[in-house]
Amino acid sequence: MIMVLAGTKDGRILSERLCKKGLKVLATTVTEYGSRLFGHGIELKTGPLNEDSLEQIIKENNIKLIVDATHPYAKDISETAIAVSCKCNIEYLRYERESSKTEYSNMIYVKDIAEAIKVLEKYQRIFLTTGSKNLDKFAKLMSMGKYLIARVLPKSEVLKKCEDLGFAPENIIAAKGPFSMEMNCQMFKEYRADVVVTKDSGVIGGVPEKITAASKLNLPILLIERPSVNYPNVANDMDKVICEICNRFLM
């Protein structure tokens, strides 16, 4: 059986394509919402994973290969999967969407959220497109008198988190992306953003559309770079990944 660490659209598509090829696939997601997006025929495990739980799943399901298709910023689970694959003596393959390559002269690159917050101190109206996971860190800027706009998933637990952090309803955009260039442009204009904050989530994360929209409005984009992980085996082409896996496990 093949294990796909999912939690992203990439992971879901990869799991479904492998399943259609006739492979037995076990996919993992952190949330129930994520698991509901999968098609039939895929075994699902939902909830956070640590080394012990991941090792248990591998042994119970006779996993032969871990395909790590988690979010580019899910550093902890990737490092956990690498460690467990070594411990269990099974193969590990990282499938990672390619980095955004859109060039923009008004782009500000930062290594992490801590550096991002320092840079953002000089801006007043800050448009966040980085999701809800680390929203608490950005929320500290509100105590400095900054006006934050959070674009997040329209889920009850996410909205409650926003409210608990002090975001007023008018500071929350609850909508599921990715968004077109035109939609981004309209939102940035409507909220009179001084700066747009994004992660390097690639094409599938809608980053090129954000950058193009910001460039039309001459807005700076603050891009938080991907964390560094020492992956032992990385691939960026999904078709080639599927072909390689099928050749090895369907022969």
HSE-up (13 A, CA, CB side) for residue 176: 4
* Same domain membership, residue 198 and residue 116: yes
State the CATH number of the domain containing residue 220.
3.40.50.620
pLDDT, tens only, 111-136: 999 999 999 999 999 999 999 999 99
* Same domain membership, residue 114 and residue 90: no
Q: How many residues in the chain?
A: 251
State the CATH number of the domain containing residue 47.
3.40.50.720
Number of domains in the chain: 2
* Same domain membership, residue 214 and residue 139: yes
Structure tokens given for 194:
């001084």
* Same domain membership, residue 236 and residue 181: no
pLDDT, tens only, 42-73: 999 999 999 999 999 999 999 999 999 998 89
pLDDT, tens only, 197-240: 999 988 888 999 999 999 999 999 999 999 999 999 999 999 99
* Same domain membership, residue 196 and residue 117: yes
* Same domain membership, residue 42 and residue 77: yes
pTM for this predicted structure: 0.86
Residue 185, phi then psi, degrees to nearest 5:
-60, -45
* Same domain membership, residue 114 and residue 211: yes
What's the first-to-final CA gap in the chain, in angstroms? 14
Average the pLDDT over 179-185 and give the result: 98
Q: Label residue 67 exposed, middle or buried (CB < 10 Å: 0-12, 13-18, 19+).
A: buried
* Same domain membership, residue 125 and residue 31: no
What pLDDT sits at residue 39?
A: 78
Written as one letter, the residue type at 63 is I
* Same domain membership, residue 217 and residue 124: yes
* Same domain membership, residue 114 and residue 219: yes
65 forms beta bridges with 2, 91
The domain in which residue 68 lies consists of: 2-98+228-249
* Same domain membership, residue 46 and residue 16: yes
Q: Is the pLDDT of residue 5 over 80?
A: yes
| Among 69, 64, 68, 60, CA closest to 89 | 64
Strands (E), 36-185: 43-46, 65-68, 91-95, 107-110, 125-128, 147-152, 172-174
Q: Label residue 95 exposed, middle or buried (CB < 10 Å: 0-12, 13-18, 19+).
A: buried
* Same domain membership, residue 128 and residue 113: yes
In terms of pLDDT, which residue wins out, 29 or 36?
29
